[in-house]
Structure 1
């Protein structure tokens, strides 16, 4: 709203492309975000989009700078968890843990608090504190039978931490619970379960393609009756 109409439309088009591409082609999304940033760096939504695009391409220092800028502009704390995760990406898990203890966390909504818990558990694992990571994930949200948008990822993270701790039976149970809640396939819980059970998937289509290629090769090299002898021309 603060931009001239034509400029606002140009910025909006670039932000739309960021949203469309950020999952399937993060590098392209990042390129569009840089255009939007060049056009309207004083707009908080642009700084936030640029931050997520940088985050998706693992440019954590750049992402953190953009998130901080957006937070200064809006005063909102909703980016706090992803800012903490950027600290992890930069190899500073202790800073992420410090952020997990700041008053800003109490201002987050339930989804944000769960996200912060996931980040804190990840930071514990980064520091080799696997048992502490498991305890961090143990929460009312984990134990709840009500499925929320964060449920699959929370259960998956718990299962993964249990597996790292050598608690395989419990890990299998929680990967199963993650799979039950994961209606959109946001995790690879099914693959992890199969791996634990020693199930190996075979791509039937690939096998068929290889068989067809072998048959075609034999057709090209095998002698045919109408071709006559294959030991060279008659010398008579």
Structure 2
């Protein structure tokens, strides 16, 4: 429970909890899986892969196949990740798992410098669909990013915009990427207001100071 709670906000602390859980219950598949994700979040890919493999042996499930393939990428073995993308296990994944596997495969292609192949890998019915699913924003974002890497800027702009439409919870930085493409610079509005206020106050303060000086001069003349 603590691993799940902390893994996004404090992955290092989550990893420490995972190690304790492993000492207490290493024969529980859920513990091995949680330890794998904690290691993965800390880019300890070799350790994560070992834990995911252990969890898979215990359960017989293929659910972890995509993240196992991504660990291979993290270890500098994109060819192995591509081999896993073509394995029979992929056909046993649900739709979300298959989309995740496609994202990993495209990433492996990019690791190998095969940008055009990465673009083709991401082209799928799920990408073309107007239906918004939990994976839609990430899939569109990955496609836009690949297009940008291929210097197809106009198409990249279009797909970043489509990613924004699907990204209701802000899971990607598609809006920032689109703004960058459009040459938009964000200015700290609060800082700007403070500067304007200082400029506006300065003349008033100067006028008040002059009025006080004039009043003092009049009093001296009367004396």
Under a length normalisation based on structure 1, what TM-score does the superposition of the two structures give?
Answer: 0.81
For residue 140 of structure 1, the aligned residue among 113, 117, 125 is: 125
Does residue 78 (structure 1) correspond to residue 63 (structure 2)? The answer is yes
Give yes or no for the alignment of 1:43 onto 2:28.
Answer: yes
Q: What CA RMSD, in Å, does the superposition of the two structures yield over aligned residues?
A: 1.8
C-alpha distance in 2, partners of 1:180/1:41?
A: 43
The residue aligned with 2:200 is none
**CA separation in 2, counterparts of 1:198 and 1:138?**
28
Task: Please state how far the C-alpha of 1:211 moved relative to its aligned partner.
Answer: 9.0
Name the one with the larger helix percent.
Answer: 2
Which digits, 9 at most, give the CA deviation of each residue in 1:170-200, with x for residues without a partner?
0000000000000000000000000000001
Instruction: Report the secondary structure of 1:78's partner residue.
Output: coil
| 5+ long unaligned stretches in structure 2 | 198-223
Q: CA deviation at 1:202?
A: 1.5
- Which sections of structure 1, spanning at least 5 residues, go unmatched? 1-15, 213-236
Question: Shift of residue 203 of structure 1?
Answer: 2.2
Matched, 1:91 2:76: yes
How far did residue 209 of structure 1 move?
A: 7.4
Aligned CA distance change for structure 1 residues 43 and 208 (closer, same or farther; 3 Å): farther
Task: Say if 2:47 is the partner of 1:62.
Answer: yes
Change (3 A) 1:169 1:62: same
1:54-85 deviation line (CA, Å, top 9, x unaligned): 00010000000000000000000000000000
Query: Which residue is 1:106 aligned to?
Result: 91
Moved over 2 A (4+): 203-212
Give aligned pairs, total.
Answer: 200
> Does residue 191 of structure 1 match 2:176?
yes
CA deviation after TM superposition for structure 1 residue 17, in Å: 1.0
Partner Cα distance (2:187, 2:84) in 1: 45
- Residue of structure 2 aligned with 1:151, choices 117, 133, 136: 136
Q: Which residue of 2 aligns with 1:232?
A: none
Distance of 1:132 and 1:53 partners within structure 2? 31
Instruction: Flag the structure with larger Rg.
Output: 2
Q: In structure 2, how many angstroms separate the alpha carbons of the residues matched to 1:69 and 1:183? A: 35
